[in-house]
Amino acid sequence: MATPAASSAPLIEKHTIGYVPPEDRHGKVRDLFTLWFGGNIAPLPIVTGALGVQLFHLNLLWGIVAILVGHLVGGVLMALHSAQGPQMGIPQMIQSRAQFGSLGALLVVLIAGVMYIGFFASNIVLAGKSLHGVVDSVPVPVGIVIGAVGSGIIGIIGYRFIHVLNRIGTWVLGIGIVVGFGYIFTHIQTDDFLTRGSFNLSGWLATVSLAALWQIAFAPYVSDYSRYLPADVKVSSTFWTTYLGSALGSSLAFIFGAVAVLATPVGMDTMDAVKLATGSIGPLMLVLFLLSVISHNALNLYGAVLSLITLVQTFAYRWIPTAKSRAVISIIVLLACCFAAVGASKDFIGHFVDMVLVLLVVLVPWTAINLIDFYAIHKGQYDILSIFQVDGGIYGRYNPQALLAYAIGIAVQIPFMNTPLYVGPVSAHINGADLSWLVGLLVTSPLYFWLANRDTSYRRRMMGGKLASSL
């Protein structure tokens, strides 16, 4: 569904974290499929998907099953967040003020911002390596800077340009990865392609968790890319286009990484394995992945910048951030990430994956609270004006019920964690499988629902939330 605003929408986005009024709504629901399909066919998910056979020693069959289960489960949560965008018309992170309060939401916003800065930095490293793989004369540090600048330009232009590029990318990358699969399967260079590895429960659970967490990692900013759609689009349409695009694109990329690694000798770096496994079309595949990582990484920069603006606006509540503000903060983040990535160790991406696993422990309870509050408690009806008030309006500065459920949601995950900082006793007992995310969801969701319904101010907030419909 499109509005008359679609044809007149400016290429450079003028909104930042503010409410998108009806006259500025534009786009079609199907754009969400192309955004999340094209955006997920990239080097980082390929590298992550290969871990199922590289690190957890699954064979091809069980690796694929684990990847599909993880993405299909995690994608549900991700798509439920996406469906909030058209109804709210504001970015995901600032919406958290309605659940946690204006100050209570700061921790989650900060964590999301740090995570997406980490994603951005890791992807520009992959861009640098991909460019060096295509053109040997281009050093990796130079490739890092080129990748960062390309993503920066896309991120600064903003929402509409990101959607346009991914509409193109869906066709190009979709065809490219199908051709890549075809070449690999007809040029397998190993005798143990189907027999290397085996089923082991801990490795299977760990791979499921990696895939599910990949989807959940999008939760803090997925609705940022649906908030410009008309408010009357069907929730089911927003959900399914996002879900199918993200689950399918991510699964293909994860499986491609696993297939490439199994088709090449043991011990190769994943992207080197991709280049070797795809033979004569390898350089073309690297070019496609290079373009993909630059385009996809713009989402990480965009999300990080919106999180930073939300943090600043919490205290400078009279400040009205503009497109210029977004551009300036984007450049600052870009320069800092370039400096960190160029000077980082060779195992930068490995350290990044470790960091994300730690951060997701504190993001999972937020996901549960946000979804329960939106769908089961407020049913999509919020007071947008209160969300932007310094004292939180009807939502206050802190919501004790949400903060209590959030703290408990983190605590119950600790025995099930497997991160570089700490390995819980349950995880150690099942050979390192990290099930903390699943436990966090199962405990936090009903706990928050129960606490919120016991809150005497709950009904007052419910009534106040209906003011949102008057905007």
Q: Please return the burial class of 459, using the count of CB atoms within 10 Å of its CB with bins 0-12, 13-18 and 19+.
A: exposed
CB atoms under 10 Å from CB of 187, counted, come to 14
Name 423's bridge partners: 418
Helix (H) or strand (E) holding 141: helix 140-157
Contact 38, 19 (CB under 8 A): no
pLDDT digits (tens, 9 = 90+) for 146-185: 988 988 888 888 777 888 888 888 888 889 999 999 999 9
According to the model, what pLDDT value does residue 349 have?
59
Burial 254-277 (b: 16+ CB within 10 A, else e): bbbbbbbbbbbeeebebbebbbbb
Classify 423 as helix, strand or coil.
Answer: strand
Name 418's bridge partners: 423
| H-helix segments, 263-322 | 270-277, 282-315
Burial 129-155 (b: 16+ CB within 10 A, else e): bbbbbbeeeeebeebbbbbbebbbebb
| 346 contacts: CB under 8 Å, gap ≥ 6 | none
User: Cα separation of 148 and 304, whole Å?
Assistant: 14
User: Cα separation of 290 and 124, whole Å?
Assistant: 10
In the chain, the domains with their CATH numbers are 5-347 (1.10.4160.10)
Which residue ranges of the chain lie beneath pLDDT 70? 1-11, 13, 344-357, 456-471
User: Cα separation of 432 and 424, whole Å?
Assistant: 9
According to the model, what pLDDT value does residue 6 have?
47
Q: Is the pTM of this model over 0.85?
A: yes
According to the model, what pLDDT value does residue 466 have?
47
According to the model, what pLDDT value does residue 10 have?
62
| 210 contacts: CB under 8 Å, gap ≥ 6 | 48, 51, 52, 70
CA distances from 409 to 276, 419, 471 (A): 44, 17, 34
According to the model, what pLDDT value does residue 112 have?
85
Contact 410, 361 (CB under 8 A): yes
According to the model, what pLDDT value does residue 134 have?
78
According to the model, what pLDDT value does residue 356 have?
67
Classify 272 as helix, strand or coil.
Answer: helix
According to the model, what pLDDT value does residue 350 have?
62
